[in-house]
Amino acid sequence: MCGLLAFFSAHGNAANRRDAVAEALECLHHRGPDETGVEVVGDTTGRRTDVVFGHKRLAIIDVESSHEPLSYADGRYLLTYNGEIYNYVELRDELIRDFGARFATAGDGEVIVAGYHHWGEQVLNRLRGMFAFVIWDRQERRAFGARDRFGIKPLYHLETPDGLYLASEKKALLPFAPSARTGDAGVDAANLSHYLTLQYVPEPGTLHKGIGRIGSGECLTWSPGYRIDVRRWYRPVFRPAPVADEQRLYDRIRETLRESVRMHMRSDVPVGSFLSSGIDSTAVVALAREFNPNILTFTVGFDVDGYSEIDVAQESARHLGVTTIPTKIGPQDMIDALPKIVWHLDDPVADPALVPLYFVAKKAAEHVTVVLSGEGADEFFGGYTIYREPLSLAGVNGLPRGLRAGLRALARVIPQGVKGRSFLERGTTPIEQRYYGNARMFTEDEKRRLLRQYDPSVRYTDVTAPIYAESTELDDVTKMQYVDLYTWLRGDILVKADRISMAHSLEVRVPFLDREVFDVAAGIPVDLKIPPRSDATKYAMRQALRDVVPPPIVNRRKLGFPTPTRVWLRGEMYEWARHVLATSGAGELVDLPYAMRLLEAHKRGEADNSRKVWTVLIFCVWHAIFVERTLDPGIERNRSALLTKPVVGSMVR
């Protein structure tokens, strides 16, 4: 796991940016504290310097070698890479057998660049893992980069008249953005609106104008004199179909997961696992201990009734015969950690689960370098309760169009809060207009009050419409899964997993988000994901793991590191929240007095406004750090010695 920062010069004078790139790279030190590499790459004539590659390494595979940036084919290519390729051993053997490829390292990074040399861009279809990388071809003066299928690893981009910048985190690009020279933070109004709806900024945008993200399953090419060309190399395809032999399907799910966990445990450093009270992480631990009976597990909780998973996780650990190390946090811990958390995120994510994840990752990093986690199971196997909605609304959806229109008109005259209104509204609204992901923060009417410059033309359908257009042939439940792969999963879940683990120089691996696992999950019919006469979710996966996880966990409801923000914003965190809203400089963008009224109503118990208030609070903290620059997040500025020195006019190793 690593951090990368690269500059591709449009004018052949990259050497002039070498020191600036090296300096900016240091804000990614947490992603790779073991080694730092900065190299200036010249063209074959020796008259131009095209590229500066910067790399921060967290050494996990081939610890003693595999230094980056990494050259290949007698210096023709240079690679900087973030991630893990779990089938690198098999790919390496194939490249040696079929092409006589030669390797100077025993790591996975060299397999990527060797594969690119021999297979071209088709190497992407062979990689099994998580990755964001960029390769510079000195001979062709061409950059090629890519992100993994599901967007586990991040890659940001910034184009300027001087050239192209790529980085693992947005903060490394900020010194080169136009706002760094003009002092204008340039908050993107449309993406702020999306954030207030979704609780995250959807890809490919960010809150800083001009800085974007390469999307999940996308690749890029760039050459001097041309704009960046981004295109999709992978699109997940669900193909639910009837199953003749259910037990055979369950066996295939279980064995594919087992193999994925085995592959994800390839490492030259210690591997542990997160453990919550649900089936996803428990299944990962149960399968992982087959390959390492002494695997350490980590869990987190609070001293608030109904908000701690420690007891259940400890019971599961005892059943499985593994050790679990718990962490408890309180409201002051949460307050103290928030500036650091928001700084690491780059853009605000108003998911309170970030906080327990931050502390459990911190504890895990004291013991191991790699942890396994259960992200992706819900999106692949149908795990969210809201996926049952199309089944519950089927009676209304099946009515003639005219009758549905009449019922919708009736719903409008029923007072808010009266039983039946929401059901009629949802049942008479097409899913393309009704569903936009798991988080639903502010409505359009509420944003009209909250945003100082509300733009009614910016709607969540701007994000979801292109996704629905690709899933017209699917049933409504599977459409929701598809939408979540491109919204909730990569906008919230994977941002949390990557940034918060990397904050502690800890690598999180996600065995469910594996190409082979998806191939199995993609074919599961709806009735085996969400049985119509049951309240179960992920039914097929639960059946497959019935003999793997402890019996009490098989049908346990998902919690996912719950956080008592609702309770604490009425009590221990109330004064802190008031102070944030009262002193924030974000008032030109959001109506802070309106947000304060939401907080006061929550305090009095008149409404549960905790999620809405939290969304505004996180934005205010973000604004203070990245726009006002009045809040120091308290990040330690560590450095590691450079592996290389600048050489102008040629590539150095």
pLDDT digits (tens, 9 = 90+) for 460-492: 999 999 999 999 999 999 999 999 999 999 999
pLDDT, one tens digit per residue, over 289-302 is 999 999 999 999 99
d(CA 555, CA 25): 46
Record the tokens describing residue 415, joined without a space. Answer: 């007072």
Please work out, in degrees rounded to the nearest 5, the angle formed at the alpha carbon of residue 531 by the alpha carbons of 530 and 532. 110
CB proximity list for 292: less than 8 A, separation 6 or greater: 265, 271
The rounded distance, in Å, linking the Cα atoms of 354 and 359 is 9
Q: pTM score > 0.85 for this model?
A: yes
Average pLDDT over residues 107-134: 98
What confidence tier does 422 reach under pLDDT thresholds 50, 70, 90? confident
Yes or no: domain 2-232 corresponds to CATH 3.60.20.10: yes
Q: What is the pLDDT of residue 649?
A: 39
**pLDDT above 60 for 647:** no
> Could you tell me where the beta strands, DSSP code E, fall in 447-597?
507-509
Binding-site annotation: residue ranges for L-glutamine: 108
Is pLDDT above 70 for 648?
no
| Phi/psi-derived region of residue 64, left when phi > 0, alpha when psi is between -120 and 50, beta in every other case | alpha
Rounded CA separation 75/41 (Å): 10
pLDDT in tens, 390-413: 888 776 776 777 676 777 777 677
Arithmetic mean of pLDDT, 19-45: 92
- Identify residue 477 by its one-letter amino acid code: V
pLDDT (0 to 100) of residue 653: 31
* pLDDT, mean over the chain: 92
Residue 2 annotated in active site: yes
Strand 370-372: give its sheet, edge to edge.
323-329, 296-302, 271-274, 370-372, 507-509
Q: What is the pLDDT of residue 233?
A: 98
One-letter amino acid identity for 417? G
Question: In the predicted model, is pLDDT for residue 47 greater than 90?
Answer: no
Tell whether the model's pLDDT for residue 560 goes beyond 90. Answer: no
**Amino acid at residue number 619:** F
Q: What is the pLDDT of residue 651?
A: 42
- Confidence at residue 543, expressed as pLDDT on a 0 to 100 scale: 96
Mean pLDDT, residues 192-206: 97
Distance, in Å, from the CA atom of 295 to the CA atom of 317, rounded to the nearest integer, reads 10
List, as residue ranges, the binding site for ATP.
Answer: 300, 373-374
Q: Is the pLDDT of residue 128 over 70?
A: yes
Q: How many angstroms separate the CA atoms of 605 and 97, rounded? A: 69
Annotated binding site: 108, 300, 373-374
Determine if the peptide bond prior to 531 is cis (ω within 30°). no
Q: List C-alpha distances in Å: 393 to 313, 388, 389, 396, 398.
A: 35, 9, 6, 6, 9
Look at residue 183 in the predicted model and tell me its pLDDT.
Answer: 54
- What is d(CA 543, CA 248) in angstroms, rounded to the nearest whole number? 11
Instruction: Give the residue among 392, 424, 396, 422 at the shortest CA–CA distance from 408.
Output: 424
User: Distance (Å, rounded) from C-alpha 112 to C-alpha 9?
Assistant: 24
d(CA 516, CA 131) in angstroms, rounded, equals 16
Catalytic residue among 2, 27, 219, 620: 2
Which strand ranges, in their side-by-side order, compose the sheet holding 156-160?
A: 35-42, 49-57, 2-9, 163-167, 156-160, 211-213
Mean per-residue pLDDT for 180-203?
87
Query: pLDDT at position 553, please?
Result: 87
Domain ranges of the chain: 2-232, 246-383+485-554, 390-475, 565-628
CB 82 within 8 A of CB 131: yes
User: What pLDDT is stored for residue 636 in this prediction?
Assistant: 82
Distance CA(515)–CA(124), nearest Å, equals 12
User: Which ranges of 487-591 does DSSP label H, i.e. alpha helix?
Assistant: 488, 494-502, 515-521, 526-529, 539-544, 551-554, 565-568, 574-583
Q: What's the distance, CA 632 to chain centroid?
A: 25
Give per-residue pLDDT as tens, 243-290: 999 999 999 999 999 999 999 999 999 999 999 988 999 999 999 999
User: Is the pLDDT score of 209 beyond 60?
Assistant: yes
Pick the CATH number of 246-383+485-554 from 3.40.50.620, 3.20.20.70, 3.40.720.10, 3.40.50.2020: 3.40.50.620
141: left (phi over 0), alpha (psi -120 to 50) or beta: left
